[in-house]
Amino acid sequence: MSPSLVASILPLPGVSDLTGTVGVCLSGGGSRALSCAMGQLRGLRHLGLLDRVSAISSVSGGTWANALFSYLPADISDDDFLGPVILDPSTLTLSQLEQLSDNNLGWVPTRLNPPDLILKLGELKACYGYENSELWQGVIGELVLKDYQLWQADSDGFDTRYLSGTDAYLRSPDGPLARNPELTSDDFITIKRPRPQPIFNTSMFTNDGVDADLLPFETNLLAGVRASFEPGPGRLGAVGGGLLETLAMNSSFQSDAGPGTVNTTLPARAFTLSDIVCASSAAFAQMFEEQYPEFSGLVPRYPYWPIAARTSQPVMTYRFADGGSLENLGINALLARGVSRLIVFVNTDQGVCRDPASSEVIVSADLPPLFGLQPYVAGQGYVPYSDENPGQGPTRLYRHNQVFDTAAFDSLKQSLLAARRAGGALLVRQQLTVLRNDWFGIQPQPQPVDVLWVYNDFVSSWWDQLPWESRDVLTIESLDDFPLYNTFTQLFLTPTMVNALAHLACWVVASDSTLGNPGGVSNAGMFIDMFD
């Protein structure tokens, strides 16, 4: 008999239901999002709130931060990794902003210079003979994960360790080791300290044609498409219907092994932390693929079989896409788990402003689709999605994202503008009714969810307190675009750019500033109140 595995499938007790808890969303946005996330995690930890978060749902650059934070080796301290809390911007001298400790998360953007990335792609191709669809995985391993002991390439260029949860889960009576005695703990990457449950979001194309849709693909202990999709136009076959333990990703289904478990073939290779991190941030692979023909096919592909139709649907290989190509905030993965209080970090490069021609408030394109609206278009405004107008280009892929009432969007955008004009942090709290969304497997919740929107934008009250030399150098290095670094043109960031953005993000979370906040509540108080 050929070697096989016994893997869990959803439902798995304690993994999916987070009803009544607080979850955090770390949006996509490349090196900008990573730098923001470093400061945001730092601020929540400073307030003693991070240990009270049930889950961190992330996309793309937010996943770079979430993956490293979640799986950080035990011998690297959180202080070293997240950096110091400095809530007085007047003390942020240029020499202070230039410093990163040895194991600081902020080193990652300093390694992502596009010319160096191209050289690294060629170097890895020559060294390991990767297929192009596996190159981005190697780059992420080498430049994002390796320095944190989370990428150990073998002679073929792959980490052979399966992605899993905690050591306690691994060794539990019905855990992966008990079900698969031929494996040992050395075969897994595990979470080494108490952490919120990580949820890494990517997306999967239904086919390779121009009519393809994107389906939400999530990963932590389990991976896959939560909702069930029958075969139909634009799909290769049946998709989804549940989640498979990451241990068995890249496998083929053999048989049911018992309640909540299946027998599978051995995977073609282990599905590693680098695989999900590279898939979640595949927009950058897409960018390089479009610019450099020799790297055609750089966007990752993975074999996948559906839980619901596992006995009838064979494994198929699908092209994956950046999580932000579908839903860039990670909100819907938390709503699918029943999370009732969400802190949503919108780490965007789109500042809040008014269109001078129409006086309409323009906000990040990530927000309107959650309310059933297309991103803003000059001369048209925010157009509702409909069967007659599903959007065009990338906008079309967002048409399944609505989870909140359209009427609530106006209050959000007006409140963000008011906060921006006040010169303080852009913090807006809303009570929002959750709508059913079959695309993401979301059921209506009996009570409105509590959402704290935290929007990355220029904060004049913080900026004006910086020493003049820090402001001048930061203006030059950021191309006069602090803190809205462009995702693609500024994938590489200097330590000064990383630190400044992280310190601002931390200040937004943990400072005693009340400027622009409702009721004179401090920034820190806005976050503390989410846990009361």
Q: How far apart are the first and last CA of the chain?
A: 56
Tens of pLDDT, residue by residue over 69-93, are 999 999 999 999 999 999 999 999 9
- The strand pairing partners of 301, in sequence order, are 319
Q: Which residues contact 128 (CB under 8 A, 6 or more apart)?
A: 138, 153, 156, 157
pLDDT in tens, 355-389: 999 999 999 999 999 999 999 999 999 999 999 99
Give the model's pLDDT for residue 98.
Answer: 96
pLDDT of residue 1: 41
Dump pLDDT digits (tens) for 249-301: 999 999 999 889 999 999 989 999 999 999 999 999 998 888 888 888 999 99
Please state the rounded mean pLDDT for residues 224-238.
87
Q: Give me the mean pLDDT over the 10-37 stretch.
A: 86
pLDDT tens digits for range 180-218: 999 999 999 999 999 999 999 999 999 988 889 999 999
Comparing CA positions, the residue from 8, 18, 72 lying closest to residue 307 is 8
Q: What tens digit of pLDDT does each residue of 92-151 get?
A: 999 999 999 999 999 999 999 988 899 999 999 999 999 999 999 999 999 999 999 999
Q: How confident is the model at residue 488 (pLDDT cuts 50, 70, 90)?
A: confident
* Size of the chain, expressed as the number of residues it contains: 532
Check whether 13 has a pLDDT greater than 60. Answer: no
In this prediction, residues 395-411 reach a mean pLDDT of: 97
Q: Which of 141, 369, 445 is nearest to 276 (CA)?
A: 141
Long-range contacts: 392-397, Cβ < 8 Å, 24+? 394/325, 397/213, 397/214, 397/325, 397/326
Per-residue pLDDT tens digits for 324-338: 999 999 999 999 999
Other Cβ atoms less than 10 A from the Cβ of 222: the count is: 26
Q: What is the reported pTM?
A: 0.97
Average pLDDT, the chain: 94
- Locate 259 and state its tokens: 């309640």
Joined tokens for residue 143: 């430049």
Closest-CA residue to 445 (of 404, 496, 476, 475): 404
What is the per-residue pLDDT across 35-48, written as a single tens digit (0 to 9) for each? 999 999 999 999 99
Reported confidence tier of residue 231, pLDDT bands at 50, 70, 90: confident
Average confidence (pLDDT) over 489-500: 93
At 12, the pLDDT band (50, 70, 90 cuts) reads: low
Q: What pLDDT was estimated at residue 37? A: 98
Indicate if the pLDDT at residue 17 is higher than 80: no
